[in-house]
Chains A and B, each alone.
Chain A
Amino acid sequence: MIDNQQNRTQGAAGTTDAQKAPQLQLKDIHKEFNGNTVLSDISLDVNAGEVVAFIGPSGAGKSTLLRCVNYLETPSSGDLLIDGKPTVKIASKPTRNELMNLRRQVGMVFQSFNLFPHISVLRNVALPQERVLGRSRKEAEERAMELLTRVGLGDKADARPSKCSGGQQQRIAIARALALDPEIMLFDEPTSALDPELGGEVLAVMQELAATGMTMLVVTHEMSFARRVSDRTVFMADGRIVEQGAPEQVFGAPREARTKKFLEAVLER
């Protein structure tokens, strides 16, 4: 247990291995909406295979930060690097090509699933592969079937998304993102719209994915998931990272008063 903890902390610090850049680097990411600062100069390094959980009160900027990583939100300034290479030259003015390249490497799962309602589950997973990766329909649908089976939903392939439960829809959304072979996966409150039982199915799939070595950034209100599955927990408030470290440390012995206050409020419920 202690060994494990040390390994995790070392991995999280990411400075021991100097010749290899962290897989994902955020440098001074700043975001303003109409003069309001939502993210103030956030820097963060994430190593390949690391699972980082973002916790904190609503309005802390967790989701905004996550959405900056695939440019669904455009940062006002700052740098975003993948494998040591800048993804966008001018942070506030991404070109179409830069966006395409970035999004090919980063997959995203949303709170509201966002499956396309007018096509079948199988097509939801296959269509992006055909359009983005240029796979043939046969190839894409085989891969889709494989992934749907992996998340336990092979039998739902021909159904419309609306015929699936919320938990099933979210697992399909995960399969859809994985089908594009991303290097990094973003999860924006993936279980917040689900009741605890259905949320459990989704968390199980995510845990399995974490075990395969996928780099994951997860914004979550599921403290037990953050605690059990993440390699590092980042606590954010008011657009800043207040504290980060191994989950045992952040949950067990928080250093900052703001973290303590938040954890007391959520864990006492």
Chain B
Amino acid sequence: MFEQWIQWLPGLLSGLQTSLAVTGLSLLLGLPLGLLFAFGMISRTRILRQTTILIVELGRGIPLLVVLYVVYFGLPDGGIVLESFAAAVVAIAFNTGAYTSEIFRAGLLSVPRGHIEAAQSLGLNWTDEARYIVLPQALRAIVPPLMSYSVIVFQATSLGYAIALPELLNSAYQIGSVTFEFLSVFILAGLIYAALSIVVSRFVDAIHSKTSH
């Protein structure tokens, strides 16, 4: 079995590369989107707040697979044709933005009201207040849950299989359909997902226990 695994590994690792690239790009676009949503959700402007909450609720309410289908199969009807890679990034980034907005929001709200009032009473404008006072403090509360969330994003890239994205699960399926060793190859693929996820989770725990005392 192990000989087979070693033989399959190059194919699976190229799939893994795609999975990681999609994960990275989705986070790169999705996290700023989540922060933007968070600011929108705590905005004092009612229309902005309500619009943002609606978008976020939709983003969290619609299953990621459905979003993938809309972007990949649906958008071409509107003249927007994306390759599977780009479609996966767009869909997962949107999903990430919606889900992480809650993490960002909690982080922003964890900054004591008094610090914000102090910043205002000193005459700092809105952007300086966010940049120098709120975000640096909020970041401490935000980073560990965001890293945990990035594990979920990594695992969610396996849904890209459904739009023919050549990612890790897809590579495993290709190998299985040639060798008919589905059990073996899917176990290996699962172990690769798990290995990376566990490494990141351990890392998060380590940061957590380091910053908490």
**A residues whose Cβ falls under 8 Å from a Cβ of B:** 70, 72, 96, 99-100, 103-104, 106-108, 110, 112, 114-119, 127-128, 131-132, 173, 176-177, 180
84-125 of chain B: CB within 8 A of chain A: 112, 114-115, 117-125
- Of the candidates B114, B117, B124, B136, which one forms a contact with A118 in the assembled complex, judged by CB atoms under 8 Å apart? B136
**B residues whose Cβ falls under 8 Å from a Cβ of A:** 112, 114-115, 117-126, 128, 132-133, 136-137
Do B118 and A116 touch across chains, with their CB atoms under 8 A apart?
A: yes
User: Could you list some 25 contacts between A and B, CB below 8 A?
Assistant: A70-B121, A72-B120, A72-B121, A96-B126, A100-B123, A100-B125, A106-B121, A107-B121, A110-B114, A110-B117, A114-B117, A116-B118, A116-B119, A116-B132, A117-B115, A118-B136, A118-B137, A128-B122, A128-B124, A131-B124, A131-B132, A132-B122, A132-B123, A173-B118, A180-B122
- Of the candidates B112, B115, B123, which one forms a contact with A104 in the assembled complex, judged by CB atoms under 8 Å apart? B123
Question: Which residue of chain B has its CB nearest to the CB of A173?
Answer: B118
Shortest beta-carbon distance, A124 to chain B, in Å? Answer: 9
Do A176 and B136 touch across chains, with their CB atoms under 8 A apart?
A: no
Residues of A within 8 A of B121 (CB): 70, 72, 103, 106-108, 110, 177
Residues of B within 8 A of A99 (CB): 120
Residues of B within 8 A of A117 (CB): 115, 137
Residues of B within 8 A of A127 (CB): 132
Do B117 and A72 touch across chains, with their CB atoms under 8 A apart?
A: yes
Do A103 and B115 touch across chains, with their CB atoms under 8 A apart?
A: no
Residues of A within 8 A of B136 (CB): 118-119
Cα(A114)–Cα(B118), bound, Å: 6
Residues of B within 8 A of A104 (CB): 123
Further 11 A-B residue pairs, CB within 8 A, beyond A116-B119, A117-B115: A72-B117, A96-B125, A103-B121, A106-B121, A107-B121, A114-B117, A116-B118, A116-B137, A128-B123, A131-B128, A132-B122
Cα(A100)–Cα(B128), bound, Å: 13
Do A176 and B133 touch across chains, with their CB atoms under 8 A apart?
A: no
Residues of B within 8 A of A107 (CB): 121-122
- Of the candidates B115, B124, B133, which one forms a contact with A132 in the assembled complex, judged by CB atoms under 8 Å apart? B124
Cα(A114)–Cα(B132), bound, Å: 14
Cα(A114)–Cα(B120), bound, Å: 11
Residues of B within 8 A of A132 (CB): 122-124
Question: Which residue of chain B has its CB nearest to the CB of A176?
Answer: B122
Residues of B within 8 A of A173 (CB): 118
Shortest beta-carbon distance, B135 to chain A, in Å? Answer: 10
Residues of A within 8 A of B126 (CB): 96
Cα(A199)–Cα(B137), bound, Å: 28
Shortest beta-carbon distance, A103 to chain B, in Å? Answer: 4
Cα(A96)–Cα(B123), bound, Å: 10
Cα(A99)–Cα(B125), bound, Å: 10
Question: Which residue of chain A has its CB nearest to the CB of B116?
Answer: A114
Question: Which residue of chain B has its CB nearest to the CB of A72?
Answer: B117
Do B128 and A103 touch across chains, with their CB atoms under 8 A apart?
A: no
Cα(A42)–Cα(B119), bound, Å: 27
Question: Which residue of chain B has its CB nearest to the CB of A129?
Answer: B122
Shortest beta-carbon distance, A186 to chain B, in Å? Answer: 8
Cα(A102)–Cα(B120), bound, Å: 11
Cα(A70)–Cα(B121), bound, Å: 7
Cα(A127)–Cα(B123), bound, Å: 11
Cα(A103)–Cα(B122), bound, Å: 6
Question: Which residue of chain B has its CB nearest to the CB of A105?
Answer: B123
Cα(A106)–Cα(B120), bound, Å: 11
Residues of B within 8 A of A112 (CB): 114
Residues of B within 8 A of A106 (CB): 121
Residues of B within 8 A of A115 (CB): 118
Residues of A within 8 A of B120 (CB): 72, 99, 103
Do B115 and A114 touch across chains, with their CB atoms under 8 A apart?
A: yes
